[in-house]
Every structure is written in C-alpha cells, then in structure tokens.
Structure 1
C-alpha cells in the first residue's frame, strides 16, 4: 500500500496537487507537470523528474511507461491520502485508547468540518 507515514515535502506536495487536479484516470508526463509548476516557481526539469520518480517508489503515484517517457497519476485521491496519514499517525502513537485523540481533534474542528463528520457518520449508519 501507499507509504504515507512521512509528510510530503514542499515540491512533492506541489507535484501531487498537479496530479490531484487531473480528472480521474488522466495521466501526465514529467514535462507536463514541470510546465505547470514552472508557471509559479523556478524548478529544474530534472528536479521534477527526480521527485516524481521518488513519489512512484513511495507508492504515491502510479507510473506507466509510454515510449521513452513515463506517465504518472496519483495512486489515491487527496482525501484517501489524508485519511491514510491520519490513520498512520494514530497507529504511530501505539495502542492507547484512540477516543481521547479523536475527541481532541473534533474539539478543534470548524462547524463545517463537524457537519461533514456528522454527514459521514450518518452515511455509515445508513449503509
């Protein structure tokens, strides 16, 4: 499965943001991702290529060979990756009662986040 235990670096996050903005099942080459990133930052093509290869090795992107180039897509949605990070953080803390950690999280949540949690829980109860 994906290796989401470590937080993304700044450039890794920027690359993932580009890939997450694609329609489902679409892919991009390093050159295409570099072109998008170069609009807002000074970054070398080879640096983007290295980061995208590293993301593929971490399991965060899927890499397909097409001729001499590779095409990439995100291995999971932004929401799925966020959930994996949250679960990983809870797992890293050991086998304590997770209830207090979840309560502390919800205590700092905005009204919109609480509404989204209630909606998700209601959908689980209905299913």
Structure 2
C-alpha cells in the first residue's frame, strides 16, 4: 500500500467525495475550488493527469478508457484504504501487541466503546454494517 503525497491525497479525497467518476478537468476544477482559500496556485490539467496515472499504477484509481475524456474513480472506499494502511503498519511491527496497546491508549472513550462493540460482533470477514 503506497503512501500518498499531498497532491495525490487531494485527488483521492476528491474522488472519494465524488458521487461517481470524474474527468481530469473536473478534478482540476474541484481542486482549484478547494485551493482558492489556501494557496491560490493554478493547477494544470496535465499535472492532474500525471498524478492520476501514478495513482492508477499504484492501484488506487481505476480509469474508464471507453469514454472521452477518460473518467477516473477510486478503486476502493476511503474506509477500505485507511484500514489497509492500518493493517500494513501493524504488520510491519515486530511487537503487534505493543503497537495495539499504545494505539488503544490514545483513543477516546467513545472510540473505545465503538471498538468494543465491533469486537463483540460476530466476524464474517466483511466490513461492519
């Protein structure tokens, strides 16, 4: 699972927030609307296309080549992506129990209650309902 740079993260956030697939131009416009409040930098559509190509190569984006312009969508949900990252980080530890203990020491009481509820439910290998 690849770590995301700032522009990659912005593009993925826009794709995760979208109702459906987006073209590179639609993504550029979305990113520019969000950036107006912060940097005011212009973003070229060719830059967006380059980043989309990288994200597709990483398996995070799916491109529909049957239409013009090509349309892009996230290959998985934001929750799935985050869970994969958490699993990867946990798997890279030499002491998983220690990592889990430190993580649990930092969660709020509400998050701890949610985790207890999830752990108490029967596991079917799928996502929570």
Q: Same fold (TM over 0.5)?
A: yes
Return closer, same or farther for 1:107/1:14 CA change in 2, 3 Å cut-off: same
1:30-72 residue CA offsets vs partner (Å, 9 max, x unmatched): 1111110011322211111111111011000111113342211
Question: 1:37, 1:87 → 2: CA distance?
Answer: 29
Q: Which consecutive unaligned segments of at least 5 residues does structure 1 have? A: none
The RMSD of aligned alpha carbons is 1.9
Give the TM-score normalised by structure 1: 0.83
SS in structure 2 opposite 1:28?
coil
How many residues matched? 119
Q: Mapping of 1:1-127 within 5 angstroms?
A: 4=1, 6-23=2-19, 26-41=20-35, 42=41, 43-93=43-93, 96-124=94-122
Give the TM-score normalised by structure 2: 0.82
Q: Which consecutive unaligned segments of at least 5 residues does structure 2 have? A: 36-40
Runs of 4+ in 1 over 4 A off after TM superposition: none
